[in-house]
Structure 1
Amino acid sequence: MENELRSFWRKFFDFNWKFGLFLILIICIPRFMIVLIANETANYSYVGFIMIISAIAPFLFLNKYGQKKIGITKPKSYSWLIWSFLIGLAFSFLLYLLGDLLYKSTFENWYVYIGKSYNIPTEIKANDKRIMFIIMAITGMIFSPIGEELFFRGIVHSSFAKSLGNVKASIIDSLAFSLIHISHFGLVFINNDWKLLTIPTFIWCLSMFLVSILFYFSRKKSGSILGSIICHSAFNLGMIYCIFYLLN
């Protein structure tokens, strides 16, 4: 049976759930702490660095066969790339509507708190706001979708799937994805103090779990990791649009 790992790593690992757990621990725990520190210091440069590490992990650990197994291949259905984009965009707007309905413009609204990190000036000209939006949208559509999808829906999912099957693997990678996002919203830094927003955190985690399932569904239906990347990119685009133009 052909092995997914590069020959060097086969001395230490098998491509199975233990390897997937190892990846989650070495990437997700440092990332969680880095994001929390960034929320406190407003310095997000290291968050981009951890996204790059996540993106290169499949190429560092996997050979060509392994990369193909995790979905780094041409799509089988190009129409599902379009559907993936529409699904991700729609979910981001639904999440905005839910947050607005429950929490309005308070920091218990996930988009309001995340938007705080964008440092959008209160008095900003329309053209300057448009330029800032474009910059943030391009960044948000590239770094985290590529890094997180290659990591969570790619190498992590596939390592668990080899041991447990796709359904259980999708639950595990989605759970890891949702929990890591508590550092983005849930455990919040407001007025120089840390606070856990219990109910909003639960809603946010459940939402991240569900959208993660949609990311995997997009990968499965398109036959390529590109499907999940596009779905994730569209979700981020919708979220950033909501933060810039729909929040009060």
Structure 2
Amino acid sequence: MTETELKPFWDKFFKFDWKFGFFLIALICIPRFILVLQANQTGNYGPIGAIMFVSAFVPFIFLNKYGRKRIGIKKPKSIAGLVLSLIPGIAFSLFLFFIGKELYGGSYQNWYEYIGNSYNIPEGIAGNNKLILFSIMATTGMIFSPIGEELFFRGIVHGSFAKSIGERKASNVDSLAFALTHIAHFGLVFANGVWNFYLIPAMIWVLSMFLVSIIFFRAKKLTGSLLGAIFCHAGFNLGMIYSIFYLL
């Protein structure tokens, strides 16, 4: 008898396959997209933390021990591999900063300028005060979204598609879902009381989110654990937050 990844209760209703993967994307990504747009308009980002928390628990809600191990919730091959996973994430985020700065300068068509606006960094802040705020934002950014998004996208979503269409195609699917979800973070832009959609910057942003997702997946494969993807994602967020605080 083939061992199933789903807990007995869920095994009555679902199969761990591509249909289940689409169900999860609809369950989490659609509400998240709406909540992010609302947060960009209202300035209340509390619900975003809540959706990240829910995303992190999805594998534990649906999967049994065997299923969680199958999607990568296990010890990495080495601690050194985890540390090294930070590097490509940081490098890509800095690369994305230079592209945005070169193409769009200080306008809201620059993804980091728009995202940085949501951080509400006090004007004129410097020295230790700036370092303290940066440290708080960096620590938060390196923990919550990497854990929530990687357990969800590179974890249970990827695993469900991989069982049906293989690892490589599944990586393309989870990366595309990740990238399109991030249009709510940049692409649909709320500034000065008006919504705008910047087509070319949004296309660059979506492509970048797709590519960095592939990098996260490679980190997972190299380390043999979702912790590799989480560390790589944490590195990306660190580079992005550093860029917003010190390079813009």
Q: TM-score range by the shorter chain?
A: over 0.9
In the alignment, residue 58 of structure 2 is paired with which amino acid?
A
| Paired-residue identity, % | 63
1:71 deviates by 0.2
**Can you give the 5+ residue segments of structure 1 that lack an aligned partner in the other structure?**
none
Q: 2 CA distance for matches of 1:222 and 1:83?
A: 10
Partner of 2:197: 196
Q: 2 CA distance for matches of 1:78 and 1:229?
A: 13
- Partner-residue secondary structure (3-state), 1:91: helix
Q: 1 CA distance for matches of 2:125 and 2:16?
A: 51
- Partner-residue secondary structure (3-state), 1:138: helix
**1:115-137, Cα deviation, whole Å (9 max, x unpaired):** 00001111223211111101100
Partner of 2:29: 28
Within a 5 Å distance, the mapping from 1:2-21 to structure 2 comes to 2-21=3-22
Q: 2 CA distance for matches of 1:234 and 1:20?
A: 27
In the alignment, residue 94 of structure 1 is paired with which amino acid?
F
**1:158-201, Cα deviation, whole Å (9 max, x unpaired):** 00000000011000000000000000000000110100000000
**1:22-72, Cα deviation, whole Å (9 max, x unpaired):** 000010000000000000000000000000000000000000000000000
1:77 deviates by 3.8
Partner of 1:91: 92
- Partner-residue secondary structure (3-state), 1:106: coil
Within a 5 Å distance, the mapping from 1:104-115 to structure 2 comes to 104-115=105-116
Q: 2 CA distance for matches of 1:204 and 1:182?
A: 8
- Partner-residue secondary structure (3-state), 2:196: strand
Partner of 2:188: 187
**Can you give the 5+ residue segments of structure 2 that lack an aligned partner in the other structure?**
none
Partner of 1:61: 62
1:87 deviates by 0.6
Partner of 2:123: 122
- Partner-residue secondary structure (3-state), 1:8: helix
**1:199-237, Cα deviation, whole Å (9 max, x unpaired):** 000000000000000000000111000000000001000
- Partner-residue secondary structure (3-state), 2:119: coil
Q: Which range moves more in the overlay, 78-87 or 17-26?
A: 78-87
Q: 2 CA distance for matches of 1:216 and 1:36?
A: 27
Question: TM-score normalized by structure 1?
Answer: 0.98
Q: 1 CA distance for matches of 2:239 and 2:90?
A: 5
Q: How many residues in Structure 1 have an aligned counterpart in Structure 2?
A: 247
Q: 2 CA distance for matches of 1:31 and 1:69?
A: 26
Q: 2 CA distance for matches of 1:195 and 1:70?
A: 38
- Partner-residue secondary structure (3-state), 2:15: coil
Partner of 1:206: 207
Partner of 1:225: 226
Q: 2 CA distance for matches of 1:173 and 1:33?
A: 19
Within a 5 Å distance, the mapping from 1:141-160 to structure 2 comes to 141-160=142-161
Cα RMSD between the aligned structures?
A: 0.7
Check the 8 A contact 1:77/1:221 in 2, yes or no: no
Check the 8 A contact 1:156/1:173 in 2, yes or no: yes
In the alignment, residue 76 of structure 1 is paired with which amino acid?
K
**1:65-88, Cα deviation, whole Å (9 max, x unpaired):** 000000000112433222211010
Within a 5 Å distance, the mapping from 1:124-143 to structure 2 comes to 124-143=125-144
In the alignment, residue 200 of structure 2 is paired with which amino acid?
I
